[in-house]
Amino acid sequence: MNPSTPYRCAVIGNPIAHSLSPDIHHAFAQALDLPVQYERILCTADDFDNRVAEFFAQGGRGLNITVPFKERAFTLSQKHCQPRAQLAGAVNTLWVADQQLHGDNTDGEGLVVDLQRLGKELKGQRVLLIGAGGAARGVALPLLAAGAQSLKIINRSPERAHQLLQQLEQQLTQQPLGSQPSLASGGLQDTAGQWDVVINATSASLDNDRPEHGTISYASQALAYDMVYGAKPTAFMQTAQQQGAAQCVDGLGMLVEQAASSFAIWFGQRPPTTAIRAQLRQQLFSSS
Ligand code: NDP
């Protein structure tokens, strides 16, 4: 490649102006000394398929997908997408290989890597996952693949939690893991048990709200993780602290790590994440 021609990458969604992805990916590229130009693409539902095709026809290297197009991206890349994206029914990373569009969902890997950074290896851990929307669907299989001993999915609409559990069981029948984790699902009050890791994968925190879950019994050294991030601890994190969680963390680290996983798919190298995470945390504090 001519060093003056940067690799083109982008994030596509609607709205898109708020996306931190260009900052994150430019920091990765700088750290690895790769010429990357990463843009935001605003598009409408009618235009999505054409914009994706056009991006890759013009030599685009990698595309991130955000709200509301992750399911559309899954449909486009379904023939060549990873099992974790199949379960999620959603794709946040697209690329072309052998002239075919490929898709993956890096949310789960991003979460697992961030949990490891926080000292939480999932092997043998009891995990309570709150939520059954796109984010929960994206992380369920990776949490089990990372060794969780048990996983309970609870949701405001319990039937969605049951449905996700059924799909997870089906996937595990087709592609079994080394161990057999114990799986359960229920409504928000079904919190019985003791938990090492509790993950809020609902969007309640975006409205400064929290899921009205039953009392949670946190094991010693337990970690509570909210996928939403902000300048202050979320209402979920505050409740978790009151109910005994030893560590309460927001999802900024997951945001950066899922981006690092996309970058690694496109460029074959996982970039360092510490500096950009610290920079974004600082930006969040200063903008509050
Ligand atoms: P969806 O819209 O697909 O799902 C929303 C989920 O939240 C559903 O389970 C819904 O329950 C639940 N919910 C919403 N409001 C409430 C409430 N007040 N009380 C209880 N449950 C509630 O969203 P996503 O799954 O795509 O995203 C969830 C969150 O995760 C978002 O806030 C998103 O920003 C964040 N996220 C963060 C990432 C990161 O990198 N840090 C990556 C991906 C997502 P019901 O089914 O009953 O409606």
Clarify whether 70 is annotated catalytic. yes
107 C-alpha to center of ligand 1: Å? 13
CA distance 236 to 16: 26
Q: Are the C-beta atoms of 247 and 264 separated by less than 8 Å? A: no
The pLDDT tens digits for 175-194 are 888 889 999 999 999 999 99
Q: What are the pLDDT digits (tens) for 238-254? A: 999 999 999 999 999 99
**pLDDT the model gives residue 178:** 83
| Predicted pLDDT of residue 287 | 85
pLDDT, one tens digit per residue, over 82-121 is 989 998 999 999 999 999 999 999 999 999 999 999 999 9
Question: Which of 37, 23, 10, 18 is closest to 95 using CA atoms?
Answer: 10
What is the residue-averaged pLDDT of the chain?
96
Ligand 1: centre distance to CA 280 (Å): 22
Quote the pLDDT of residue 148: 97
Atom 2 of ligand 1, residue of closest alpha carbon: 133
pLDDT at 3: 58
User: So what's the pLDDT on residue 104?
Assistant: 97
SS3 state of residue 79: helix
pLDDT tens digits for 220-238? 999 999 999 999 999 999 9
Domains of the chain are 7-105+254-287 (3.40.50.10860), 108-250 (3.40.50.720)
Q: Which of 70, 79, 152, 232 is catalytic?
A: 70
